[in-house]
Structure 1
Amino acid sequence: MSAIEIVNLSSDDEGPEAAENISSSGPCTCHSHSGDTGLFYATLPNCAPPPCRQFWKAGNYDNGLGLQVSIQNAGNYLHVHPMFLHSNATSHKWAFGAVAELLDNAVDEIQNEATFVVVDKILNPRDGSPALLIQDDGGGMGPEAMRHCLSFGYSDKTKLAIGQYGNGFKTGSMRLGADVIVFSCHLNDMGWTQSVGLLSYTMLMQSRVDRIVVPMVNYKYNPSAGHMEVINGLEHGTTNMSLLLQWSPYSSEAELLKQFVNIGHHGTKIIIFNLWCNHDGDLELDFDTDPEDIHIAGHFKKTDTTSARKKIVNEQHIANRFKYSLRVYLSILYLRIPEHFRIILRGQVVKLHNIADDLKHIQYILYTPQSGGSKKATFVTTIGFLKEAPEVNIHGFNIYHKNRLILPFWPAVSYGKNRGRGVVGVLQADYIEPTHNKQDFERSSLSQKLEIRLKEMALEYWDYHCHLIGYPEVKHKAPVSQCFSSMQEPLAIVISNASNNCSNSQSRYEQAPLAKRKTRGFIDPHKAKRQSAELNVIGVSCSQNVQTMASPADQVVDQEAINIIEANKNLIAECLEHEKTEEELNLKVAQLRSKIEEAQHEYNRLLAEAQPLKEE
């Protein structure tokens, strides 16, 4: 019988006992609420869905499973109760935020030659219910890495990676469904391994254990025998294999091993089953409305063709569609990914969409806040009007962190009398830490300063450009510096896009007072050049429309700043060429490694065939 490892997420010493308790108890007869009906459940079959299928009610344990568990804290160990899986997942109010957590792990695998991540619907072979599949061809996880993945708070990722807290897999998977099974293949100098682990909220709650345990199976390729063999001994094999086969979608070891076939030598496959339902009793993830997409159930709106045109444009805009369409959300989730990497949703590649491409009358604004008397960060914001403005009732900033969208269309201002209507910005804020669910930023002095500046930026942009989309020009009765008295850090560089009425924008700026663009002294050209190059400020061809401000009275374009921008354009072009070359080389390296793996596999096979000949 195969050997299984039990991972106790609280204590390595007491896992086997907990596993035996689960195995001996089996499916139990228990009381549980189902919605508001208060129905009782009798003996449950193997791999049964959780008694309560609604996520936001699955954590209501009044007179339910949670209160029936007695806590045994032998040895003074701190145990993580199974109910924590649910409470931990409540950090995700939005189901797509949970999906993004799992995709982040796949995108982080790009550094390990990953070329794709697949998101799709599959059927649970045990009962035919829908399940969610997420699979990548990254480096995969060996047995130790799998244990870390299924534990809480461990992360060995670099600062460049999106994930950092070691909690995203647990919160994301448990938010989407009650149970998840993970298959992973890993190849390194130590050999080729296959690992499978099960994190089952259903199993833990129905078995009434007082801690979280995770059954795992680990296999390693034996070159001499020419096949995979179970590793880590046979101590708890029978008990723990029975757990996997009893509570996972697969009823035999052969079916489990079959899941590794399409992974290859490296990669990870995640299957989330017993998906949660909404308050109407429907699956929260809607797989039926669009066969090439996944929707949030109940959020899809069929536009009334008799409605006014403005309403149609507004409802069909990406700013509204991403809330219920996973394909739309994934198209804007990452600011930039390598060309060789693909996000494949339900068999179709997701076409990435840069929100900045939807803007007109674009400006690029460099902003450097100060904290404690020193400069902490530099932010570059692309800001403009939506091309549909003023018809759309949309505005806000799309704020990314390490290339990943944190706040989509964050409303910096609440526009009254249309002030700010249609103003949209895009920026990357790597210097501000996101919250654990990656749907907001931690509250800090730096983030508060940025919020204040973005509000000023939106209003400021509107006041000086609203005439370009048909609104009356704003008459300034007071100096702008008074209107924006809360602005402590000045704007350093403003660049207007040549493709968006450069002449009109230029004449407008010549008429407007420039007090709000006052800088504290002259700009250091070398520092400005270095900062621009580091932040990949997009160059523009309308160089005569670039302004650097030394004083309110100085309306003359600074030729030195123009030279800096031109030099920056050249540097960016060189960087793009280097990035393209790097991507091509990485692709070649991945191809060569694949060939090496195939050759090694063939060598091992021949070696195994030759072994009997040597013995003769």
Structure 2
Amino acid sequence: MSCRDIVDLISDDEAGPVDVKAVKLEPDSVGSTFLQKYNHNQTSEHRKSKTQPRRQESEENKSSNALSAGQSSNSVLEQGQSPVDDTGISSTSSICPAPLCRQFWKAGNYEDGLGSKVTFQNGKNFLHVHPMFLHSNATSHKWVFGAVAELLDNAVDEIQNGATIVIVDKTTNPRDGNPALLFQDDGGGMDPEAMRHCMSFGFSDKKLKSAIGKYGNGFKTSSMRLGADAVVFSRHVNNRTFTQSIGLLSYTFLTQTGLDRIVVPMVDYEFNTSTGTLDKLHDRERFRSNLSLMLQWSPFSSEAELLKQFDDIGSHGTKIIIYNLWFGGDGNTELDFDSDPEDIQINVDIKKKEKSITEQHIANRFHYSLRVYLSILYIRIPESFSIILRGRIVEHHNIANDLKFPEFILYRPHSGGCVEGTVITTIGFLKEAPNVNIHGFCVYHKNRLILVSVFNSKGLLSFNLSYLLM
């Protein structure tokens, strides 16, 4: 996307819908799937900027918070001088190092050798978080689809900022040809400060009570549960200030360099309306240091390749690419992209199912089919918003409609003699009963499925789907 295109985007964004002309990418490259499959749709008709100015924290609050990932070098998510010698890093490197251990449940231990000996530029004594926390934090997701749901929640929360679509798809790591996961939405995007908050622990700009996520932890737990590494691209426009930021959260980088603290390379750009160019924010050495790390540990070997990922984002939005996906105990990736070209499935034995009515029921299929799971993930979805999985819209399924003889019961839990709250529960029989021997319950919170317990004659089939603080 040229600088002239950026000027047009800013102007059009203020006037009304934006018609984004995508730049052609090479086949099978990261981002090309989005262009090939979705350029024909009418998502550009909905891309109106509804972003609100983000609340600016005082400098005193920033410096006093030990978990800040701000621009100061004395932060937990260190962004100062590169902690490794980057003199040998080449932007033409063809291999992006893979994690030392490819199985998620065995990847939590490593020895931090180099990190304890490294001196950071302008370093001071401060609290920091060890990289192993990234892994232990992600173990809250026992089920891999629960991690996918967390990333979907962030896109759904962006509906208030004008989001009309979220894409979940397989893409390819151009370094090694291995599969990667793509999440992309056309929400308000993140400015540089919001991007740092996203990469930090405990920061959240979500103030609405209806927001699903509000604890500032979902992105880290979900991305690290799906793969060892994630790169985030976000474009944001506010008051004619046009920024785009790139952040790299890489467990591979941290473990293979033996760091004893979480370091997140990040680069930011701002469009200069007077010169028609993208200006690099921050000082030259810091920018070079962070970019150098990205070119070694991300799927992209040049700054031009990194910036090319913004071509299909439009005037605002966010793209997340998760690569070095985790393997299961059988030596294959946990996620199966081959069994169904329009679905993402889990490599588990349950897929070897009997051809009975019960086994074919949605209460069983959501175990291994992401398409089925996403269809019941939310009680309701606005008509203006679509979830697209591998090129096809996910059809919403209200499980309450599967019941016959439904009854609605007011549930009033009591604790210590006080009523804690009330909720209307819907109960009934499955329409296929008694031929389908399934019973159980689903719990939704803030429109989001958080618990499913399903039973049949063989006993309990399902359990807590995902980690979500209520």
Q: TM-score range by the shorter chain?
A: 0.7 to 0.9
Superposed displacement of residue 23, structure 1: 3.8
**Which residue of structure 2 lines up, in the alignment, with residue 329 of structure 1?**
373
Instruction: Name stretches of at least 5 consecutive residues in structure 1 with no aligned partner.
Output: 1-7, 28-43, 306-311, 422-434, 443-616
Measured at CA, do residues 25 and 93 of structure 1 come closer, stay the same or move farther in structure 2, by a change above 3 Å? farther
Matched, 1:157 2:201: no
Q: How do 1:537-616 residues align onto structure 2 when only pairs under 5 Å count?
A: none
The residue identity in structure 1 corresponding to 2:250 is S
CA offset digits 1:448-494 (Å, max 9, x no partner): xxxxxxxxxxxxxxxxxxxxxxxxxxxxxxxxxxxxxxxxxxxxxxx
Q: 2:418 aligns with which of 369, 374, 379?
A: 374
Measured at CA, do residues 87 and 369 of structure 1 come closer, stay the same or move farther in structure 2, by a change above 3 Å? closer
Q: 1:118 aligns with which of 167, 171, 193?
A: 167
Structure of larger gyration radius: 1
Q: 2:99 aligns with which of 45, 50, 55?
A: 50
Matched, 1:70 2:103: no
Superposed displacement of residue 438, structure 1: 4.4
Tell me the SS of whatever aligns to 1:204. helix
The residue identity in structure 2 corresponding to 1:225 is T
Q: How do 1:441-452 residues align onto structure 2 when only pairs under 5 Å count?
A: none
Superposed displacement of residue 224, structure 1: 1.7
CA offset digits 1:138-157 (Å, max 9, x no partner): 00000000000000111121
**Which residue of structure 2 lines up, in the alignment, with residue 173 of structure 1?**
223
Superposed displacement of residue 211, structure 1: 0.7
Q: Distance in 2 between matches of 1:17 and 1:107?
A: 30
Q: Distance in 1 between matches of 2:435 and 2:201?
A: 48
Matched, 1:13 2:63: no
Please tell me the root mean square deviation across aligned C-alpha atoms, in Å: 2.7
**Which residue of structure 1 lines up, in the alignment, with residue 404 of structure 2?**
360
CA offset digits 1:213-243 (Å, max 9, x no partner): 1111111111122232212232312222111
Q: Distance in 2 between matches of 1:71 and 1:9?
A: 22
Instruction: Name stretches of at least 5 consecutive residues in structure 2 with no aligned partner.
Output: 1-65
Q: Distance in 1 between matches of 2:145 and 2:379?
A: 17
The residue identity in structure 1 corresponding to 2:83 is N
CA offset digits 1:280-337 (Å, max 9, x no partner): 11011100010000001124524445xxxxxx11111111110110000000000001
**Which residue of structure 2 lines up, in the alignment, with residue 391 of structure 1?**
435
Matched, 1:243 2:303: no
Measured at CA, do residues 163 and 23 of structure 1 come closer, stay the same or move farther in structure 2, by a change above 3 Å? farther
Q: 1:90 aligns with which of 139, 143, 150?
A: 139
Measured at CA, do residues 70 and 228 of structure 1 come closer, stay the same or move farther in structure 2, by a change above 3 Å? closer
Measured at CA, do residues 400 and 208 of structure 1 come closer, stay the same or move farther in structure 2, by a change above 3 Å? same
Superposed displacement of residue 402, structure 1: 0.2
Deviates more, 1:336-345 or 1:215-224: 215-224
Q: Distance in 1 between matches of 2:264 and 2:216?
A: 16
Q: How do 1:417-566 residues align onto structure 2 when only pairs under 5 Å count?
A: 438-439=466-467
Measured at CA, do residues 17 and 266 of structure 1 come closer, stay the same or move farther in structure 2, by a change above 3 Å? closer
The residue identity in structure 2 corresponding to 1:330 is L
The residue identity in structure 2 corresponding to 1:79 is H
Q: Distance in 2 between matches of 1:386 and 1:265?
A: 46
Q: 2:149 aligns with which of 78, 100, 103?
A: 100
Identify the structure with bigger relative contact order (alpha carbons < 8 Å, sequence gap 6+).
Answer: 2
Superposed displacement of residue 396, structure 1: 1.1
More helix by share: 1
Q: 2:445 aligns with which of 360, 377, 401?
A: 401
Q: How do 1:96-245 residues align onto structure 2 when only pairs under 5 Å count?
A: 96-158=145-207, 159-245=209-295
Measured at CA, do residues 25 and 58 of structure 1 come closer, stay the same or move farther in structure 2, by a change above 3 Å? farther
Q: Percent identity?
A: 63
The residue identity in structure 2 corresponding to 1:378 is T
Q: Distance in 2 between matches of 1:183 and 1:285?
A: 23
Q: Distance in 1 between matches of 2:126 and 2:196?
A: 19
The residue identity in structure 2 corresponding to 1:402 is K
Measured at CA, do residues 89 and 25 of structure 1 come closer, stay the same or move farther in structure 2, by a change above 3 Å? farther
CA offset digits 1:545-570 (Å, max 9, x no partner): xxxxxxxxxxxxxxxxxxxxxxxxxx
The residue identity in structure 2 corresponding to 1:247 is W
Q: Distance in 2 between matches of 1:120 and 1:17?
A: 30
The residue identity in structure 1 corresponding to 2:258 is R
- The two structures have a TM-score, normalised by structure 2, of 0.77
Contact 2:67 2:202 in 1 (8 A): no
Matched, 1:342 2:386: yes
The residue identity in structure 2 corresponding to 1:181 is V
Tell me the SS of whatever aligns to 1:169. helix
Superposed displacement of residue 105, structure 1: 0.3
Tell me the SS of whatever aligns to 1:100. helix
Tell me the SS of whatever aligns to 2:83. helix
Q: Distance in 2 between matches of 1:199 and 1:290?
A: 30
Q: Distance in 2 between matches of 1:440 and 1:257?
A: 34
Q: Distance in 1 between matches of 2:439 and 2:88?
A: 54
Tell me the SS of whatever aligns to 2:293. helix
Superposed displacement of residue 165, structure 1: 1.3
Tell me the SS of whatever aligns to 1:125. coil
Q: Distance in 2 between matches of 1:67 and 1:228?
A: 38
Q: Distance in 2 between matches of 1:104 and 1:242?
A: 32
Q: Distance in 2 between matches of 1:397 and 1:17?
A: 46
Measured at CA, do residues 19 and 394 of structure 1 come closer, stay the same or move farther in structure 2, by a change above 3 Å? farther
Tell me the SS of whatever aligns to 1:185. strand
**Which residue of structure 1 lines up, in the alignment, with residue 45 of structure 2?**
none
Deviates more, 1:219-228 or 1:49-58: 219-228
CA offset digits 1:23-51 (Å, max 9, x no partner): 44979xxxxxxxxxxxxxxxx98521101
Tell me the SS of whatever aligns to 1:395. strand
Superposed displacement of residue 182, structure 1: 0.1
The residue identity in structure 2 corresponding to 1:234 is R
The residue identity in structure 2 corresponding to 1:404 is R
**Which residue of structure 1 lines up, in the alignment, with residue 335 of structure 2?**
285
Tell me the SS of whatever aligns to 1:232. coil
Superposed displacement of residue 250, structure 1: 0.5
Tell me the SS of whatever aligns to 1:107. helix
Q: Distance in 1 between matches of 2:257 and 2:469?
A: 38
Deviates more, 1:14-23 or 1:169-178: 14-23
Q: Distance in 2 between matches of 1:394 and 1:67?
A: 53
Q: Distance in 2 between matches of 1:438 and 1:302?
A: 24
Superposed displacement of residue 78, structure 1: 1.7
Q: Distance in 2 between matches of 1:384 and 1:103?
A: 29
Superposed displacement of residue 210, structure 1: 1.3
- The two structures have a TM-score, normalised by structure 1, of 0.60
**Which residue of structure 1 lines up, in the alignment, with residue 129 of structure 2?**
80
Q: Distance in 1 between matches of 2:251 and 2:84?
A: 12
The residue identity in structure 1 corresponding to 2:331 is G
Q: Distance in 2 between matches of 1:89 and 1:361?
A: 41
Contact 1:407 1:439 in 2 (8 A): no
Say how many residue pairs are matched: 391
Superposed displacement of residue 160, structure 1: 1.4
Q: Distance in 2 between matches of 1:78 and 1:441?
A: 25
Contact 2:164 2:385 in 1 (8 A): yes
Matched, 1:315 2:315: no
Contact 2:438 2:454 in 1 (8 A): no
Q: Distance in 2 between matches of 1:266 and 1:25?
A: 35
